[in-house]
Amino acid sequence: MLRWQEFGQAWWAETRKKVKNAAVFLDPLACECLHWNGGAPSLLEAGANCIKELSTFEVVPKNAKKGVFISSTAWHGTNYTILESLIKKSNLEYCVIITSAHVSIHHLLLWGSRESNDSEVLQKIEEDVLGWMGNVNYTVEIFFYPLSTVHPTRDTVLIPSAKFARPLLSSDLGYLNEQLVLFSKQVEAQTVRSINDLSNAHLPLESQVQVRQLVHNLNQLIQHINGKDEIFTVGPFSRIVGTELEALNSAKIRRKTATNKVSVILVDRLLDLASATKFSSENVYDRFIHTLDRLHEYSSDVAINMSGKPQADWQTTATGCLAPQTDWNDGWDMMDHLFHENLQQATEWFTDVLKDSLKDSNHLEKLDDLINQCSKDWDFIEKFTHLYQIGYGLCQIQSNNKARQMDVLEGIRKTLIENLDDESPSPLIQVLQLLKTRKNTNLSLDDILVLLVHLYSLAGDQREDLLPIELEERFKSLVAEIIVDDCDNLSDELQDFVGVPIDEIRAHRAAQRIMEQLHCISGYRSQMKRYRTLYQRRNSAMPLECISFFQQLVEDIFDPLLGDKNPDLEHKSGGLKDLIKTGFSLFVNVRKPKPVDNPTIILYVCGGIRPDEVKLIRDLFRQKSPSHKVLIASSNFISAHDSLQYVFKKNFSA
């Protein structure tokens, strides 16, 4: 039986062996992975003296002789400078340096080469750390541990360090081509005309590193189950990642002896931002993501305010969360209910479990009453911490302001797409009205921009017909005016995008840039042959409805009539055997590989995934082929407003 979740646990178990009597420092992304793999208590129970963030604002305790430093990325640049500062100011005599980045990534950053020599990298880091400690007789240990994964459910995995390995827009080509000309030192240097022509070599070094790290993380995950992979891609960025994974030397070696056949399907998030920008939630976890604050900047978990029960005899300012820390099987059972049930179903289930677990509770029927009763019983909270936190959170998401706002925005979204056809007035007319009345309806500019992302992603190559240029001009003028008038009330992301001080010139430039990005989003599927449309009207009496790209893809994968004829699903083949097959197929009808040929499928979404999309994909697999095992993977969980990262992108380097 394949147990994906053991991958992260196994490597954190190795890490815990190194922390006894040590001051432990972790970067934010490593903290996120630890949070889902035992949390800080697991390191403290293993003997760590203290746990701190890898930051210039922290110091190593004066009495600490041993330090453990954990980075989710390569020891290079900022975090290497922080490491130097911490060690130089300490009294450490023994340093354990751990990174999730493969040695070849360090080699790429240090010497611009992929060819890795482990000893060179290890020697450089060791010499540097010994120099910072001030004594070559002290001890340095260096480990490359893939502490890179988060396992929210038994069939879901996130790779937080891959958050910035995400698809490019056509607006990024200007910057990329400038860099290509700059580094080639030739005015007539070959440039790239389309994102579909991009390869890894066209990317800046930092982006190559991000792709390289993602590829190694995927390879290590496949290696954990002794997998022999066939790679399929949909989208230009996924093609880059798939090509790199296919060509990876360690992956080639793995495939020679691996016995478990696996299909890896890589897809671009930008193929469908419409599904990402709905304001309805098909499962409870998605509702949590949309109605509560994130635990921290990089987190796919939420912060549950645990201080709001006046009936309790005690008060806490500690923040609750959804991630299980101990008793993994029970924890994942509860997470399954959060991911695969709606709010009403999950509330009923957790209410029944709380009643069964809590003494003298038969007379209590409502979840809120049960939580109030639990809050008075510290022994219960200590024994059922995870259950208590989830129940507490369920009470908060049913009626808070964000939940009500989500319902309002979902109603507006449905009204807008009803007009997304040739026979109705353009939905941009309603958007202009929303901008004018935003204060009366309590809508922010960000809220309206998310609705625009939804419309433009849906419109696709029909944009010019459905969203006329003259209305876009009025939109830009109005947005520029709002940016100036509401400059003190803009979101931090929008303020950073516009620049300071905010004036009319910057506001108009920002409005123009927003529209350009929306055009790029609508054009992302222009090269698709099968997946150009994300909406349909079942009949003339029915309203227009969104059809998720993921739904279309999974249904196509299992469609026996389509077989291997999907023009948008590219199979990556790089071996001599595959080249021979390709040449032979010119003369004989040779069937191409299909994802369903293998019993296990990994579906990785480059750019983040909604929790309700996890439910959709798993439900479709169980419906179409219960015998197939699926692992749904991405870098992080996203909400509707996270789509604005593509709108507020200044350029590729930003």
Q: What is the 3-state secondary structure (H, E, C) of 100-169?
A: CCCHHHHHHHHHCCCCCCHHHHHHHHHHHHHHHHCCCCCEEEEEECCCCCEEEECCEEECHHHCCCCCCC
Rounded Cα–Cα distance for residues 51 and 40 (Å): 7
Alpha helices in 398-468 (DSSP H): 401-418, 427-436, 438-441, 445-459, 463-466
CA atoms within 13 A on the CB side of 83: 26
Token pair, residue 247, equals: 């060509």
Q: What is the pTM of this model?
A: 0.93
| Bridge partners for 70 per DSSP | 26, 98
Contact call for residues 68 and 96 (beta carbons, < 8 A): yes
Three-state secondary structure of 537-585: CCCCCCCCEECCHHHHHHHHHCCCCCCCCCCCCEEECCCHHHHHHHHHC
Token pair, residue 292, equals: 């509560």
Rounded Cα–Cα distance for residues 526 and 531 (Å): 9
Contact call for residues 544 and 537 (beta carbons, < 8 A): yes
What one-letter code names the amino acid at 331? G
What are the CA-CA distances from residue 430 to residues 299, 490, 519, 643 (Å)? Answer: 35, 22, 19, 21
Token pair, residue 505, equals: 């010139």
Residues of the chain with pLDDT under 50: 1, 310-315, 653-654
Token pair, residue 33, equals: 């992975």
Rounded Cα–Cα distance for residues 425 and 433 (Å): 13
Element (H, E) at 251: helix 249-257
Name the CA radius of gyration of the chain, rounded: 26
What are the CA-CA distances from residue 75 to residues 100, 124, 211, 249, 303 (Å)? Answer: 10, 11, 17, 22, 30
Any idea which residue has 């639990």 for tokens? 374
Kindly write down the DSSP assignment for every residue of 37-53, as one continuous string: TTHHHHHHHTT-SEEEE
Contact call for residues 451 and 277 (beta carbons, < 8 A): yes
Task: Give the count of beta carbons closer than 10 Å to the beta carbon of residue 437.
Answer: 10
The pLDDT of residue 652 is 52
SS3 294: strand
SS3 83: helix
Contact call for residues 625 and 560 (beta carbons, < 8 A): no
Contact call for residues 333 and 355 (beta carbons, < 8 A): no
What are the CA-CA distances from residue 167 to residues 89, 105, 243 (Å)? Answer: 41, 20, 15
Token pair, residue 558, equals: 């299992």
What are the CA-CA distances from residue 560 to residues 297, 536, 566, 567, 597 (Å)? Answer: 44, 23, 11, 15, 12
Contact call for residues 427 and 420 (beta carbons, < 8 A): yes
Rounded Cα–Cα distance for residues 455 and 443 (Å): 17
The pLDDT of residue 317 is 52
Contact call for residues 419 and 433 (beta carbons, < 8 A): no
What are the CA-CA distances from residue 137 to residues 20, 126, 131, 249, 270 (Å)? Answer: 21, 12, 10, 36, 53
The pLDDT of residue 237 is 97
Rounded Cα–Cα distance for residues 267 and 605 (Å): 5
Element (H, E) at 393: helix 385-397
Rounded Cα–Cα distance for residues 279 and 290 (Å): 8
The closest of 214, 165, 154 to 9, measured between CA atoms, is: 154
Rounded Cα–Cα distance for residues 633 and 7 (Å): 14
| Count of all residues that appear for the chain in the document | 654
Contact call for residues 58 and 52 (beta carbons, < 8 A): yes
